Amino acid sequence: MNQATAVFGGGCFWCLEAIFSELQGVLEVVPGYSGGHLENPTYEQVCTDQTGHAEVVKITYNREVISYEDLLRIFFSTHDPTTLNRQGEDVGTQYRSVIFYGSAEERLTAEKIKGEMAALWDDPIVTEIVPLEKFYPAEEYHRDYFRRNPQQSYCALVIAPKVAKFRAQFQERLKAR
């Protein structure tokens, strides 16, 4: 199998995990933190907006089934990459739109797709494209959060509509359910 990883931040990691985990070719999605200065941050520390970390997901995928380019297109289509340090009511640098790349090739691809996707938005895309230095997995209770807590108010009011829109837009890319 031709495995690779991608690390994206686009608001709350619960939303991104719920979306990317449904895609064919995605083997695992792990919520976590990246881009900050504190070693082994906790959720509580990241939420202070003082650590510099973004809430992110680390996506392990099979390149024979889904490409990095397709993951990027889905990323830019399923959150608002034009709002600086926020997604909806979630405000702070931890909610910034960011792509952490692991190679020069990934950086170039991310820049290319960012340029392509700009046509979808009225405002300029503010998504950062920066090197991945470290990824810290989030605490266990964040994993599969939407699936395990569908009735929780944030899940029902914010994540569920995003997932429904994603499913309608990308139904041909979804895993068999």
Under 8 Å between Cβ of 54 and 87 = no
Q: If we measure between CA atoms, which residue out of 98, 12, 79, 61 comes closest to residue 173?
A: 61
Phi-psi category of residue 114: left, alpha or beta, with phi > 0 → left and psi -120 to 50 → alpha: alpha
Active site residue 12: yes
| Distance of alpha carbon 135 from alpha carbon 103, whole angstroms | 15
Under 8 Å between Cβ of 65 and 25 = yes
Choose the catalytic residue: 12, 15, 47, 155: 12
Tokens coding 60? 């392990």
Q: Which residues are catalytic?
A: 12
